[in-house]
Amino acid sequence: MPNSDVRFQWHHGFEVGHPAIDDDHKALLDCLNRIAKYFAISRGEDAYEECLNFRAEIERHFEKENRFLRVIQFPRWQRHLTSHSKFTDHLLTYCAFCGERCRKSQEEECLTDLYAMLVEHFIKGDLDFKSYLEHENLANKQRRNGPSGSNT
């Protein structure tokens, strides 16, 4: 059985340059780390609940990110939207597959896959628009600006 006590740490290289999106990414990684913590102390029911929370947070994050990419007129927005749909579908499959075993603290192998999916989202998906943000001078906007770039 994998070592659930191992946590994945945030790396500044994952940052896209938009504070709200970067904060969401950190929170999503924290969610997975909580799942790992629950497995380490044999609290499968809590791990499962956190997995459901992760699913809700990923959906909220994707909605925010999709709005942001439309507003900044990211040229590959449609491709990015498709990657979000694939991620969500894959996540739903994992939640359905692992649910009962997770609740019984018997199964944690999907956690490694969830980490991989999230990091792939950061690197392959979101870093794709990082250079666009930098080129358009949109990176590292003030925290007071919401995902649309307007004060919210």
pLDDT at 103: 72
CATH (one of 1.20.120.50, 3.30.70.2740, 3.90.76.10, 3.40.630.30) for 18-135: 1.20.120.50
pLDDT at 152: 33
**Per-residue model confidence as pLDDT tens digits over 90-134:** 888 877 777 777 777 655 677 888 898 999 988 888 888 888 898
Residues 6+ apart with CB under 8 A from 30: none
Q: In whole angstroms, what separates CA 63 from the centre of its chain?
A: 12
Interval 29-56 mean pLDDT: 90
**Per-residue model confidence as pLDDT tens digits over 66-85:** 999 999 999 999 999 999 99
What value does the mean pLDDT of the chain take?
82
Question: How many other CB atoms sit within 10 Å of the CB of residue 11?
Answer: 11
